[in-house]
Amino acid sequence: MKLNIDIKELLGAVDVPAQWVGIREVYEAHTPRMIRDGVPVANARSSTHGIMVEVLVNGQFGYYGTPDMTKEGVSRAAKKAYQQAEIASGHALHHFDESARPSFQGEYRSPYTKNRESLSAGNLNELLLDAYNSLKVSDKIVSASSLCQVIETSFKFASSNGSDINQEFLMLEFDLSATAADGTNQQTRTFGGMRGTCRQMGLEYFDKYEIMANAGRIGEQALELLEAEECPTGEMDIVIAPDQMMLQIHESIGHALEVDRILGDERNYAGWSFVKLEDFGTLQYGSKLMNITFDPTLESEFASYAFDDGGLKATKEYLIKDGLLVRGLGGKESQIRSGLDGVANFRSSGWNRAPIDRMANINLEPGDSTFDELIGQVENGVYMESNKSWSIDDYRNKFQFGCEYGKLIENGKLTKTVKNPNYRAISTPFWNSLKGVGNEDTFGIYGTPNCGKGEPNQSIRVGHASPACLFENVQVFGGV
């Protein structure tokens, strides 16, 4: 049950002598459903609803997040936020003015045709149960699951300088998973995990025949991996599928370009960055084939929106053009602090957290190679699909990724399946080894529902789209 709140009316209840006041209302409901091993393990719906009152006092912002959305509650919240800001203003890292919260008005709505209620709980459980049955292709499949989650988010923002924004999101996450085991030899194959299918879309996504076909393939590939050889060890070329490229982009580009990290805000938690302020416009981040965009406009991508949580209008911008670093992921506050151009990425995980610099949709633009042309360039290498392990250092340099499914590439052809394909490298040498970028036909749209960052911690949704890519001379290895 969602309360209808008029935040512009609530704004009138604020009675503190602040330089600026804003109210951000967020309602979000999650509806997960899951079948595991033939039985229902999740049929849930939970919602969160509250407001954040933010005030600017002596150049310092202070906030109060509260679920009490009455006029009295907002008045009380504003007074307490004011007190916090006033105390802090004598020790402010930066003194802001109203320009940190520009005034915009507008609306956004996710693209979809079928809402959450278009399929009943019973219909969805039936679909997921059928998918489970298709995953269970053998007794060696010791566990299998099918799940979906609908996310409905409503975001409203109003401020004392005239911002008036209303954004409505409908998102869907879906996955299939099969684990095959023979003693301690165990292999899991998924439909990309929770990062595989997470988009702004409605229940029109559910095409039963396509889901069953994918479920059958995933079950068979889990068995295939159980019998497969270990991935070879050595330095070789790799072709990475888009459902792994998305996390490669996320970890070794997205986080590294967050300007609040570069300014040191995250040093105690997520970390710093190897990128320095003076690198913008000068650092050759990758090969000439590399073009990275901040694109909140790509239809159906997970983190598309029209305005960020500070009210700034969102536009597509190049972050890396022909391999050269040109722009950072800095919202209005970071733009003011750093003097750099940025993007509209000042985002929060909900009403109870203050916005910070986040990724939104960070994409690798398609090139002109077909998939066969990418594979055809490789004499001895590995093709890798679907992330299962990820780790990178606090400067975003030394990374290591593991994938679910690999294929040897021998003399320009895909040959044997290999299990536990892993690779490790350092960010800029790796991106400078980018030798081929797939075309639109190899392009996939993915994302992640739980990118973690910030103090207090915030888990946020981001989108990543990429074609398949070829990298040369990478350290590759398998399991134990």
Partner 1 sequence: MEQIFNKLSESLFGQLNEGEHLILSFDGENSQFVRFNNASIRQTGLVDDADVGLKFIANGRTCSGGFTVSGNFDTDIARGSSEIDRMRIESEQIPKDPFLVMPENAGSSHEIKKANGLAFEDAVDAILPAVSGADFVGILANGKMFRGSANSLGQKHWFETESFCLDYSLVTPEHQMVKGCYAGSDWNQQDYEDYVKRSRDKLVLMERKPVKVDTGEYRTWFEAAAVADFLGMFSWNGISEASLRQGCSGFGRMRHDDVRLSSKFSIVEDFSPGFCPKFNSNGEISPDTISLIENGSLKNTLVSSRSAKEYGVESNFAEGGEYLRSPRMEPGSLNHNDVTKNIDKGLFLSNIHYLNWSDNAGGRITGLTRYACFWVENGEIVAPIETMRFDDSFYRFFGDQLVQVEDKLTVVPEVHTYGQRSLGATTCPGILVDSFALTL
Contact with partner 1 (CB under 8 A) among 133, 313, 398, 432: 398
Contact set for partner 1, span 22-51 (CB under 8 A):
35-37, 39-40, 42-50
Tell me: does residue 17 bind partner 1 (CB under 8 A): no
Counting contacts by CB under 8 A, is residue 59 touching partner 1? no
Q: Is 394 in the site for partner 1 (CB under 8 A)?
A: yes
Instruction: Output the furthest CA–CA distance in the chain (Å, rounded).
Output: 73
**117 binding partner 1? (CB under 8 A):** no
The residues facing 234 across adjacent strands are 476
- Residue number with CB closer to partner 1 (36 or 114): 36
The label of the residue with tokens 């509250």 reads 50
Question: 317 to 336, contacts with partner 1 by CB under 8 A?
Answer: none
CB 376 within 8 A of CB 409: no
Question: Is residue 400 a contact point for partner 1 (CB under 8 A)?
Answer: yes
- Measured from the CB atom, the residue of 148 and 375 that comes closer to partner 1 is 148
In the list 3, 4, 17, 139, the residue contacting partner 1 (rule: CB under 8 A) is 3
Closest approach, Cβ 411 to partner 1, in A, equals 29
| 272 versus 302: smaller Cβ distance to partner 1 | 272
Contact of 51 with 23, CB cutoff 8 Å: yes
Specify the stretch interacting with partner 1 by CB under 8 A; choose among 11-19, 168-176, 288-296, 424-432. 424-432
**Position 202, amino acid:** G
Q: What is the CA radius of gyration of the chain?
A: 24
Taking the C-alpha atoms of residue 303 and residue 450, their distance in angstroms, rounded to an integer, is 12
Q: Does residue 268 touch partner 1 according to CB under 8 A?
A: yes
277 lines the binding site for partner 1 (CB under 8 A): no
Q: Does position 79 bind partner 1 by CB under 8 A? A: no
452 part of the interface to partner 1, by CB under 8 A? yes
Count residues binding partner 1 (CB under 8 A). 91
Q: Is 48 exposed, middle or buried (0-12, 13-18, 19+ CB in 10 A)?
A: middle
* Block residue for tokens 């899951």: 34
Residue 38's Cβ-side half-sphere holds a number of Cα atoms within 13 Å equal to: 4
* Shortest separation between residue 124's beta carbon and partner 1, angstroms: 9
Nearer to partner 1, 106 or 264 (CB): 264
Residue 320's identity, in one-letter code, is I
User: Which of the residues 184 through 243 are near partner 1 (CB under 8 A)?
Assistant: 184-186, 188
**Minimal distance, residue 268 CB to partner 1, in Å:** 4
Residue type, 180: A
Residue 142 near partner 1 by CB under 8 A = yes
Whichever of 61 and 104 has its CB closer to partner 1, that residue is 61
Q: Of the ranges 150-158, 165-173, 191-199, 351-359, which one interacts with partner 1 (CB under 8 A)? A: 351-359
CB nearer to partner 1: pick between 263 and 360: 263
Query: Residues of 241-265 as b/e, b for ≥16 C-beta within 10 angstroms?
Result: bbbbbbbbbbbbbbbbbbbbbbbeb
In this complex, which beta carbon is closest to partner 1, that of residue 380 or of residue 457? 457
- Alpha carbon distance 194, 149 (integer Å): 10
- The region of 11-19, 193-201, 319-327, 346-354 touching partner 1 under the rule CB under 8 A is 346-354
Among 100, 170, 236, 263, binds partner 1 (CB under 8 A): 263
Among residue numbers 86 through 105, which ones bind partner 1 (CB under 8 A)?
87-88, 91-93
Q: Which of 106, 111, 281, 479 binds partner 1 (CB under 8 A)?
A: 479
Measured CA distances, 332 to 171, 272, 323, 358, 455 (Å): 27, 20, 25, 12, 19
Output 92 or 326, the one with its CB closest to partner 1: 92
Is 169 exposed, middle or buried (CB count within 10 Å of its CB: 0-12, 13-18, 19+)? buried
Least spacing, CB of residue 279 vs partner 1, in Å: 15
Give 93 or 213: the residue with its C-beta nearer to partner 1.
93
- How many residues are recorded in the chain? 480
Backbone phi, then psi, for 139, in 5-degree steps?
Answer: -65, -20
Find, among 148, 122, 149, 145, the residue nearest to 133 by Cα.
145
Token readout for 324 is: 């050269």
Q: Both ends of the chain: CA-CA distance in Å? A: 51
